[in-house]
Amino acid sequence: MGINSVVISGNLTRDPELRATGSGMNVLKMGVAVNDRRKNQQTGEWEDVPNFVDVTVFGARAEALSRFLSKGSKVAIQGKLRWSQWESQAGEKRSKLEVVADEVEFLSSRDGGSGGYSAPSGGSAPEPTDDGGEEIPF
C-alpha cells in the first residue's frame, strides 16, 4: 500500500493563475514558500531556508480560490504529490513534483490580518483525465 498525502503551510510567492482546459475545467496554479529551519554550521545560528512548492487546484474550487488569494497570502494546504515529466522545446527532459490540493485553508485575511477561514467546500479536487493528449495551456 502506498500513502500519498502532504500538508504544507506558507505564503503565496505570486498571484495565483487561473486557466481553463479546452474541455472547460478550471485549473489554478500557485506557488507557496515553506520555510525549513536549519542550523548554519559556520555561525551556529538557526536560519529559515525557503522551499518553493508548486500547487495546483482543479474544478469549481479553483475559480473560488482565485478571487480570494493573492501574493503573500498565508495558506495551509492538504493534498497529494504528483510527478510529471515532459520534453522542452529544446529537446531536454524536464520533470517536477507538485502538490495537487484537496483542501486549502486561509491563514490570513484579505487585508493581511490574521484570519482563519476555510476555502469554500465542494468535494475533493477531481483527478485530471486523459483528454486525448490535450495539455493545460501553461
pLDDT band at 1 (very low <50, low <70, confident <90, very high): confident
Taking Cα atoms as reference points, which of 97, 102, 134 lies closest to residue 118?
A: 102
Determine contact, residues 134/22, Cβ cutoff 8 Å. Answer: yes
Task: Look at the chain and count its residues.
Answer: 138
* Averaged pLDDT, 134-138: 46
Q: CA 15, CA 126: separation in Å to the nearest integer? A: 23
Taking Cα atoms as reference points, which of 52, 48, 30, 37 lies closest to residue 106?
A: 30
Q: What is the pLDDT of residues 8-31, one digit of tens each?
A: 999 999 999 999 999 999 999 999
- The position carrying cell 486557466 is 19
Distances, alpha carbon 29 to alpha carbons 1, 20, 48, 91, 92, in Å: 29, 11, 25, 25, 23
47 pLDDT above the threshold of 60 = yes
pLDDT band at 120 (very low <50, low <70, confident <90, very high): very low
Domain boundaries, the chain: 1-81
Q: Does domain 1-81 have CATH number 3.30.390.30?
A: no
Grid coordinates belonging to 49: 531556508
